[in-house]
């Protein structure tokens, strides 16, 4: 059915990646015909040094590691596109840094084997409750994450035809739903695949916006992004990022390139 690339981005989230990444990498290695593409999006939390312990996985091709060193602020669509465009698989899966793969690989492989042209939306039944105030954010349990929008996979050809995530959206909020809405409008079937067990480390919306470089909170950013997304759908603008310029990165600590 083809190779699967799991695309992860990280901006100063090593404290979460240290919990999720080793197990995810092990599952990908055991599954075979898979890879993880990890983007260091200008982190300053020693991610470069920490990832060196996985050099054998880089050497074997199971891990592709990109370091983006020019844009200081995190932009979810740009970072996710970078990871997806650097991937080599037939199927591309967005896997947020705070998400666990769990036992999903065989299930997703079966779905794509039976229906190759399919977008899979991973979800868990305990949907994230909005977190807005400081008091609410302080009550988040680190083991209660949901990650419902942290696992989205589709064929590479479909991702490229859509132009990837819309980089004209504000840095965070609604970019995953926008991608799925545009995909559905083009006729791509979407299946939700349930994931049990520990799915993700929960973040507050304040944490999500922390490195965005804009003064808006997540709720305001989401509303503005929803408006842009709805307008694009209404006007039939389903392909994003026309004329996008490649972004420079250091690949696997050794190769200056751009995606």
Give the integer Cα–Cα distance in Å for 176 and 3.
Answer: 22
More confident residue, 131 or 166: 166
Angle between helices 14-31 and 104-114 (to 10 degrees): 60
Q: How confident is the model at residue 159 (pLDDT cuts 50, 70, 90)?
A: very high
Give the integer Cα–Cα distance in Å for 93 and 83.
Answer: 10
Give residue 127's pLDDT: 45
Give residue 138's pLDDT: 32
Give the integer Cα–Cα distance in Å for 139 and 135.
Answer: 7
State the pTM of this model: 0.91
Give residue 197's pLDDT: 85
223, pLDDT greater than 90? yes
Q: What is the mean pLDDT of residues 15-33?
A: 97
Q: What is the mean pLDDT of residues 197-224?
A: 92
Provide the token pair at 211. 């490195």
Measured torsion, CA atoms of residues 162, 164, 166, 167, in degrees rounded to the nearest 10: -140
Q: How confident is the model at residue 198 (pLDDT cuts 50, 70, 90)?
A: confident
Give residue 143's pLDDT: 33
Pairing between β-strand 91-95 and β-strand 4-10 as defined by DSSP bridges: parallel
CB of 47 closer than 8 Å to CB of 40 = yes
Domains defined along the chain, listed by start: 4-258 (3.90.550.10)
What does pLDDT average to over the chain?
Answer: 91
Q: What is the mean pLDDT of residues 185-196?
A: 94
Give residue 1's pLDDT: 79
More confident residue, 96 or 131: 96
Give the integer Cα–Cα distance in Å for 65 and 45.
Answer: 16
The residues near 223 (Cβ < 8 Å, ≥ 6 apart) are none
Q: Which is nearest to 241 in space by CA: 109, 126, 75?
A: 75
Give residue 126's pLDDT: 53
Give the integer Cα–Cα distance in Å for 10 and 124.
Answer: 22
Q: What percent of the chain shows pLDDT beyond 90?
A: 85
Give residue 147's pLDDT: 54
Pairing between β-strand 248-251 and β-strand 255-258 as defined by DSSP bridges: antiparallel
SS3 of residue 23 by DSSP? helix
SS3 of residue 257 by DSSP? strand
Give residue 150's pLDDT: 84
Cα separations in angstroms, 25 against 19, 44, 143:
11, 22, 20
Report CA 90 to chain centroid distance, whole Å.
16
Give residue 39's pLDDT: 98
CB of 70 closer than 8 Å to CB of 38 = no
- For every residue of 119-166, which 3-state class applies, written as one string? EEEEECCCCCCCCCCHHHHHCCCCCCECCCCCEEEEEHHHHHHHCCCC
Give residue 172's pLDDT: 95
182, pLDDT greater than 50? yes
Strand partners, 91: 4, 155
pLDDT in tens, 171-181: 999 999 999 99
pLDDT in tens, 36-86: 999 999 999 999 999 999 999 999 999 999 999 999 999 999 999 999 999
């Amino acid at each position: 059915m083809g190779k699967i690339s799991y695309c992860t981005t990280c901006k100063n989230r090593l404290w979460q990646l240290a919990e999720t990444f080793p197990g995810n990498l092990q599952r990908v290695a055991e599954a075979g015909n898979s890879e993880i593409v990890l983007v260091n999006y200008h982190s300053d939390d020693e991610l470069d040094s920490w990832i060196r312990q996985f050099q054998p996985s880089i050497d074997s091709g199971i891990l592709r590691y990109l370091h983006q060193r020019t844009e200081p602020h995190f932009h979810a669509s740009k970072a996710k596109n970078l990871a997806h465009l650097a991937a080599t698989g037939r199927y591309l899966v967005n896997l947020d840094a705070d998400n666990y793969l769990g036992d999903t690989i065989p299930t997703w492989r079966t779905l794509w084997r039976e229906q190759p042209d399919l977008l899979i939306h991973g979800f868990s039944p305990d949907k994230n409750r909005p977190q807005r105030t400081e008091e609410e954010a302080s009550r988040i349990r680190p083991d209660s994450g949901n990650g419902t929008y942290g696992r989205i996979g589709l064929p590479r050809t479909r991702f490229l035809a859509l132009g990837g995530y819309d980089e004209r959206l504000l840095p965070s909020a609604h970019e995953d739903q926008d991608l799925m809405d545009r995909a559905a409008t083009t006729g791509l079937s979407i299946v939700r695949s349930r994931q049990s067990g520990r799915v993700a480390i929960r973040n507050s919306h304040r944490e999500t916006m922390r490195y965005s470089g804009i003064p808006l909170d997540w709720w305001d950013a989401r509303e503005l992004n929803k408006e842009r997304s709805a307008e694009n759908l209404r006007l039939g603008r389903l392909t994003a990022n026309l004329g996008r310029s490649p972004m420079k990165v250091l690949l696997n600590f050794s190769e200056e390139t751009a995606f």
